[in-house]
Amino acid sequence: MRTWTTKSTHLGGWCCLFVSFGWINCIGVFQEYYQENLLRGYSSSTISWIPSLELFMMFFGGPFFGKTFDSFGPRGLLAAGTVLHVLGLMMTSLSTKYYQILLAQGVCSALGASAVFFAAMSSTGTWFFKKRATAFGTIASGSSLGGVIFPIMVSKLIPKIGFPWTMRSAAFLILGMCAIANLTVKSRLTPRRKKVDVMEFIRPLKEPAFAITCAGAFLFFFGTFLPFNYVILQALSHGMSLNLSIYVIPMLNAASIFGRILPGIVADRIGRFNVMIMTTAFSTIIVLGLWLPSASNAPIIVFCVLYGFSSGAFVSMLPSLVAQISPIREIGVRNGTIFLCVACAGLTGNPIGGALLSNDHGNFLHMQIFCGVTMAAGTCTFIAARWVQCGFQLKVI
């Protein structure tokens, strides 16, 4: 019975990541569409607050949803998240003004996606111990496939059926996947109801390993989503055809399927912090060494494939790092704390990138440098988190 529950939770968790982070992974499509069509009177930096708010709300709910999971389990989270996510997209389909899209897509839908995301990640963490990184990587591959399907779906349907019905079609697909998740996701732990204590979220920051890991996640995420958000615009500015640019984000997300799974398998053998450091360092090198000088179709496509693989490990590996340095009863709360740090980076990173882009009159250079430098700082901080645990010894950590 336990084996079946483990497998069904794994399936449901995969569906959760497909509709939550998989949807967030297609933000670049909306940045390009809003900038060229629905909101073309607004600057790139102003429009970027919509995907930035999506990212923020996606992770900002972490402390609340983590605590809710620890106290009540995943059932209510999944139900509420399904309603909010679908409702937000339905309201977006009716929106014609900036503030309406900001509230419907940036707040309502994203909060629902957040509840679904944390219910899945926290539930999975209770079932797996030895192969925890592999488990997280497998369900996180759902976000990669979602990031392949949703951008193509949105880009192809808008010219055929219009923006409103495209958003409704996406909402119906999300509703179906969430129905599966609501029936299958379970936690191994019996919920324990406790009073809300803000110190529960702050207290873990007194532990050096956890505090430095939070700092590393914050710094790395500052730059992580800039390629997702701006690579389509950059490709178009360098002469890529509109038909080919539609597939840029799907290519990036398709490569991240392998980036979600393979590093997790390796991490369970050679150490989760070790693999996180290697993949974040590779992401930094790809941004500064390949994206920065890219000025034609071929290098941009190669960048998307390599960056998709290397950056894909970050989201799948981060909860396994938290679980490794946390008591099992505090996994939900601690995931909430670290993803709140990530939320703050997600809220500000894209607008800063958009402001740099606007100030440079459409030149992507300074935005790309900002992306690479913040990711390099995050990598160095993960190295420091490893160092406080075992120094510079060669060991599985």
pLDDT at 10: 85
pLDDT at 268: 84
Alpha helices in the chain (DSSP H): 2-19, 21-24, 27-33, 44-47, 49-60, 62-72, 75-93, 98-103, 110-127, 132-184, 199-202, 208-224, 226-237, 242-245, 248-270, 272-286, 297-324, 331-359, 365-390
Structural domain range at position 327: 2-190+201-390
Instruction: With beta carbons less than 8 A apart as the criterion, state whether 178 and 86 touch.
Output: yes
Instruction: Tell me whether residue 372 is in a domain.
Output: yes
Whole-model pTM: value is 0.84
Rg of the chain on CA atoms, in Å: 20
- Number of domains observed in the structure of the chain: 1
CA distance 304 to 310: 10
Instruction: Tell me whether residue 397 is in a domain.
Output: no
Instruction: Tell me whether residue 373 is in a domain.
Output: yes
Reading the block at residue 142, the tokens are 């759902």
pLDDT at 84: 97
* CATH classification of the domain holding 162: 1.20.1250.20
Instruction: Tell me whether residue 196 is in a domain.
Output: no
Look at residues 312, 273, 339 and name the one whose alpha carbon lies nearest to residue 147.
Answer: 312
Instruction: Tell me whether residue 290 is in a domain.
Output: yes
Instruction: Tell me whether residue 396 is in a domain.
Output: no
Alpha helices in 26-131 (DSSP H): 27-33, 44-47, 49-60, 62-72, 75-93, 98-103, 110-127
Q: pLDDT tens digits for the chain (397 residues)?
A: 557 777 888 899 999 999 998 998 888 789 889 988 889 888 888 898 998 899 899 888 878 887 788 788 898 999 999 999 999 999 999 999 999 999 999 999 999 999 999 899 888 877 776 677 778 788 888 988 999 999 999 999 999 999 999 999 999 999 999 999 999 988 887 777 777 777 888 899 999 999 999 999 999 999 998 998 889 889 999 999 988 998 999 999 899 888 888 888 898 889 999 999 999 999 999 999 999 999 899 999 999 999 999 988 887 788 889 888 988 778 777 888 898 898 899 888 888 988 898 888 888 999 999 999 999 999 999 999 999 998 888 888 8
Instruction: Tell me whether residue 216 is in a domain.
Output: yes
Q: Is 362 exposed, middle or buried (0-12, 13-18, 19+ CB in 10 A)?
A: exposed
CA distance 126 to 142: 19
> For the stretch 247-285, what's the b/e string if a residue is b when 16 or more beta carbons lie within 10 angstroms of its beta carbon?
bbbbbbbbbbbbbbbbbbebbbeebbbbbbbbbbbbbbb
pLDDT at 159: 93
Q: Calculate the CA 294 to chain-centre distance.
A: 25
